[in-house]
Structures are given as C-alpha cells and as structure tokens.
C-alpha cells in the first residue's frame, strides 16, 4: 500500500495573504493527523510525488476517485478545509459546474460545505475558539461528527440539519454529561444524564426534561439531587398539575393578556419569577404594529432580527457571514452588561424573503451570542453561567436588570376559544421554542389615533 499526499495550492503572487494560507494549511494537516488528506492507493511502484513532473504520476482515473479538498479563510480567522460542492440558486447540487458556460448562471452559483471537512472558528496562533470535524450535507452538519465548543463542551455523534439528531454524547464544561438519543437538538428518547454531583438520571427524556415515572412528571436534569428531592417532597401541587397536563407543554396559565405598558412589564417580571421567558404577540383587535410595541421599552433594548440574520447567513457563500455573528455578539454583550432588554424578533421582517420556513434560533447559540440556558433564567443568571457566556472576561459583568424576551408577528384571534387558542399557539411555536419555558404575553392595547 502506498500513501500519496495530494496537495494543490492556487498561488497568486499578487495576493500576499496566500503565504499565510499555506502556513494554515500545514497546521491543519498536523491537526487532522493525516486523516483528512492522506489516502491509501493500490500501486506496485514506489511512492510518487505529484508535484514532481519527472516522476511518474498516478493514473487519472485514480485521481478522480480521490476527494477534492478546498480551503477557505474568513476575516476573524475562521477556516474551513474539506470537501465542497457547487449549488445553484435553488440550493441544488451541480455535478459539473465547469461545464456551465452561461455567465448569468455562473453568478448564481455558490460553493458550500459538502462531504467530509473541518471547521476551525477564530483560528489564531495555533488555537481556535471552537471546532467541528465530520460530515456535511449542502452546508449543514449531517451524519457523524464531533463539535468542540469554546467553553470546553464536546458533542460527538449524529447530526442532521446542523442539529443533534440520533445518538450521541455531550459533555458540558461544568461536569454534566448526557449519552443517548437526541431530536431537534434536544435530549429526547432513551438516555442517561450524569450530574456533576455524581447522581445519574437514566430513562426517558423529552424536550431536554427527564421523566419521573413514579410521579408521572418531568424535571429539569441540571438540578442537584437535593433540588430534585425538594421538588418531590415540597411541590406536590406542581406534581399534581404535571400529572394532569402530562406531556402538554402549554396551558392557560402560560397565557397573559395585557392592555398597557404597566401590565406588560408586570407580566414580564411575573414570567421571570416563574423561571420562564416571555414571548410577546399581538391581538387581532388592535391596529398596533411591531414598532408600537417596541416603543414601550423606551430605547432600553437591543433587537436581534432573527429572520434577517437567518436570511443573511444562508444567502452567503459557505453559509457563513462573520458580520451576522459579530452583530449579535455586540447586541447581546451590550444588553447583558448594561441591564437592557434583549428582544429576539423571531419573524417580523418587512423585507421580502425567499424561505417559507422559520429561522432556527439554535444556529445562533454560542459564546457572547444567544445561549441555550437563557430558557432557564434561574440557571443562566448564576454567576458561573453568565460569566462563562461572557467568555469569562474580567471587564464584563452581567447587570441584574438584563432580561431576554422573544417577539413574534403572530396575531392572536380574540374570538378564538381558549382551548383552540392553546392548540394554535402550540402548533405555531412548538418547533421553534421550548414551550415548557415560555409564557405568551398577548398585547391588546389599541393604538391611539
């Protein structure tokens, strides 16, 4: 067996940055431990040097069978090295893009991650903030892969559409770990959760919650054993409520109707006291727009337009736009450190957009961006969690007045029966938000004429 290193670099002497590219490629080769670009080939000759014209080259048919790896770098140092594909404006894979002669069509083509590859985020001085190595499908993580995050957490297992899906293990930096089944990025199915205090939860998980068969209820797996015991012994009423609702993620108690500014902020405070996040929507009997609702916060907020960010992200070659992430990081940091409201505008965008499906908020999870722990305020507001989210920077501290809020253009029909309203809200948001952590705040104040 012979190992041949296929290494192609398009060199443009006018571009001085290619020198750095070559150095980075060498570093990547070391990092990958030769798994990514060294291939086993059958030959009876001595090892060949594909860059030496005086040495016999491998047969062309063998070359075509080898994966074609490409290298890309971005302004913040993020780099990708691996297999790619060319897609058209409809995100359909083009097998032979070199055969396209129409210049207008060529302008619509994009190169996306497809196949096996590695992504190193914010790579500098042989270090990176986070890393993904594994399989891609049309710019999405799909198949087997391993993700290492900036806080030290590591997931290894199955991916689909950029989310944990199938079987896998996640080890958090705080000493928690989970091994088992995943669905839509959540712990869901059979699995085992191990707490840092040593106790384990083995059995059925649903939407990141663990099912206790004896009490027929769900608990938050990140609780300590003492908190679980206290819940079982002192929260009988809540357990009874859980018994009644069983797997229902939503009930009448999760809906609050407000008619003025004072009631709105009272509802927000009450929602946080219940360890939930408010989702503000409007009622059909008012003529107020999004801007009218946002005016109630008197500029004491930062808005993240999730649909706009999602559009920008997915209309960019390789699906990566550093400016999108930097903008979110800036707004999150300002809101957290200045005690402002961080309003995630889920879907209200006046511009036309080509996607007819909702943005996935999980794509914007990350250090100093959005956090999966924001859905559990009592956990996120601990110094350990908030400091870790701010990258443990000594110059950044979370202000106690900071609050995370969601907003949707969804309109509530005031004439709808309560049962139908609950079902309608579940149908609209169950794939986008953890409804078990949501209170829907319906704003019904009419705009003054």
> Do 258 and 267 touch, CB atoms closer than 8 A?
yes
- Report CA-CA distances (Å) from 290 to 181, 269, 296, 390: 39, 21, 10, 29
In the sheet with 403-412, reading across from the earlier edge strand, the strands are 255-258, 438-443, 277-283, 403-412, 341-345, 301-305
Looking at 115, 150, 185, which one is the last position of a domain?
150
Q: Is residue 64 part of a domain?
A: yes
Residues 228, 353, single domain; the answer is no
User: 303 and 426 in one domain?
Assistant: yes
Of the three residues 221, 247, 273, the one that is the final residue of a domain is 247
Residues 237 and 109 in one domain: no
Q: How large is the C-alpha radius of gyration of the chain?
A: 25
Higher pLDDT, 374 or 265: 265
Q: Are 170 and 151 in contact (CB under 8 A)?
A: no
Say if 404 falls within a structural domain.
Answer: yes
Residue 4: how many other CB atoms lie within 10 Å:
20
pLDDT tens by residue, 294-324: 999 998 999 999 888 877 766 544 444 567 8
- Give a yes or no: residue 159 inside a domain: no
- Rounded distance, CA 425 to CA 281, Å? 10
Whether residue 377 lies inside any domain: the answer is: yes
Sheet strands (E) in 25-129 = 38-41, 69-73, 79-87, 93-94, 110-121
Residues 68 and 314 sit within 8 Å (Cβ to Cβ)? no
Is residue 88's pLDDT more than 50?
yes
* Position 239 in a domain: yes
Which structure tokens are listed for 45? 């000759």
The mean per-residue pLDDT over the stretch 218-238 comes to: 70
Q: Quote the pLDDT of residue 240.
A: 45
Of 224, 252, 218, residue with least CA distance to 238: 218
Shared domain check, 111 and 182: no
- Distance from C-alpha of 445 to C-alpha of 448, rounded to nearest angstrom: 9
* Residue 13 located in a structural domain: yes
Q: What angle separates helix 225-234 from helix 236-245, to the nearest 10 degrees? A: 80
The answer on 348 and 328 residing in a single domain is yes
Query: Do residue 218 and residue 276 come from a single domain?
Result: no
* Residue 423 in this model has a pLDDT that exceeds 70: yes
What's the pLDDT band for 27 if we cut at 50, 70, 90? low
201 falls in which pLDDT band (50, 70, 90)?
very high
Confidence of residue 15 (pLDDT cuts 50, 70, 90): very low
- The encoded tokens of residue 11 equal 């060199």
Domain boundary among 247, 269, 299: 247
> How many helices (H) does the chain have, and how many strands (E)?
12, 21
* Residue 425 confidence (pLDDT): 87
* Same-domain check for residues 383 and 427: yes
Strands (DSSP E) contained in 93-250 are 93-94, 110-121, 130-137, 140-148, 154-160, 163-171, 177-183, 186-194, 200-206, 209-212, 217-219
Express each pLDDT in 30-78 by its tens digit: 555 444 433 332 333 233 333 333 333 334 444 444 557 888 887 878 8
- Confidence band for 141, pLDDT divided at 50, 70 and 90: very high
- The pLDDT assigned to 402 comes to 93
Task: Taking the CA atoms of 430, 432, 438 and 441 in sequence, report the sign of the dihedral they define.
Answer: negative
Q: Tell me: pLDDT of 111 over 50.
A: yes
How confident is residue 406, by pLDDT bands cut at 50, 70 and 90? very high
Q: Count of domains in the chain?
A: 3
Q: Is residue 157 part of a domain?
A: no
Residue 247: pLDDT above 70? no
Task: Show the tokens assigned to 38.
Answer: 């060294």
Asked if residue 230 and residue 325 are part of one domain, the reply reads: no
* pLDDT at position 19: 52
**Residue 229 to residue 415: CA distance in whole angstroms:** 43
CATH number at residue 420: 3.40.50
Residue 242: pLDDT above 60?
A: no
420-446: buried (b, 16+ CB within 10 Å) or exposed (e) per residue? ebbeebeebbeebbbbbbbbbbbbbbe
pTM of the model: 0.49
Average pLDDT over the chain reads 76
Label the pairing between strands 2-5 and 38-41: antiparallel
> Is there a domain that residue 158 lies in?
no
Say whether both 341 and 239 belong to one domain.
no
The reported pLDDT for the residue numbered 246 is 40
Looking at the structure, tell me whether residues 168 and 192 fall in a common domain.
Answer: yes
For residue 390, give its domain range. Answer: 249-443
pLDDT higher than threshold 70 for residue 167: yes
Same domain, 140 and 214: no
Could you tell me if 361 and 377 lie in one domain? yes
- 93 forms beta bridges with 87
Q: What is the predicted pLDDT for the residue at 382? A: 81
CA angle 43/47/49 to nearest 5° reads 120
């Amino acid at each position: 067996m012979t190992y041949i290193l296929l290494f192609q670099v398009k060199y443009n002497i006018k571009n001085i940055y290619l020198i750095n590219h070559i150095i980075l490629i060498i570093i990547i080769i070391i990092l990958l431990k030769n798994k990514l670009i060294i291939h086993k080939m059958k030959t009876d000759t001595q090892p060949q040097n594909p860059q030496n014209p005086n040495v016999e080259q491998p047969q062309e048919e063998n070359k075509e069978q080898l994966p074609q790896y490409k290298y890309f770098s971005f302004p913040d140092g993020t780099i990708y090295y691996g297999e790619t594909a060319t897609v058209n404006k409809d995100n359909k894979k083009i097998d032979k893009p070199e055969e396209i002669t129409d210049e207008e069509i060529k302008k619509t083509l994009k190169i996306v991650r497809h196949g096996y590859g590695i992504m190193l985020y914010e790579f500098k001085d042989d270090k990176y903030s986070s890393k993904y190595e594994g399989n891609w499908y049309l710019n999405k993580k799909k198949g087997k892969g391993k993700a290492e995050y900036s806080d030290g957490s590591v997931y290894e297992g199955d991916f689909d559409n950029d989310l944990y899906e199938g079987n896998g293990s996640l080890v958090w930096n705080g000493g928690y770990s989970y091994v088992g089944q995943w669905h839509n990025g959540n712990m869901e199915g059979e699995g085992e959760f191990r707490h840092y205090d040593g106790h384990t939860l083995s059995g059925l998980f649903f939407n990141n919650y663990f099912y206790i068969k004896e009490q027929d209820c769900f608990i938050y797996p990140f609780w300590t054993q003492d908190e679980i015991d206290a819940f079982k012994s002192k929260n009988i009423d809540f357990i009874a409520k859980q018994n009644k609702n069983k797997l229902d993620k939503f009930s009448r108690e999760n809906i609050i109707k407000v008619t003025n500014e004072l009631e709105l902020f009272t509802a927000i405070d009450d929602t946080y006291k219940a360890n939930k996040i408010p989702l503000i929507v409007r009622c059909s009997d008012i003529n107020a727009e999004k801007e009218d609702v946002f005016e109630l916060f008197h500029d004491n907020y930062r808005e993240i337009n999730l649909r706009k960010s999602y559009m920008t992200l997915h209309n960019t070659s390789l699906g990566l736009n550093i400016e999108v992430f930097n903008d979110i990081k800036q707004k999150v940091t300002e809101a957290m450190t200045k005690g402002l409201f961080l309003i995630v505008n889920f879907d209200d965008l006046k511009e036309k957009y080509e996607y007819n499906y909702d943005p996935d908020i999980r794509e914007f999870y990350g250090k100093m961006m959005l956090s999966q722990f924001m859905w559990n305020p009592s956990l996120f507001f601990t110094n350990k969690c908030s400091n870790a989210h701010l990258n443990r920077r000594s110059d950044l501290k979370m202000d106690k007045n900071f609050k995370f809020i969601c907003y949707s253009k969804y309109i509530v029909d005031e004439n709808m029966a309560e049962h139908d309203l609950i079902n309608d809200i579940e149908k609209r948001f169950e794939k986008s938000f953890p409804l078990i952590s949501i209170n829907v705040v319906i704003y019904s104040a009419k705009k003054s004429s």
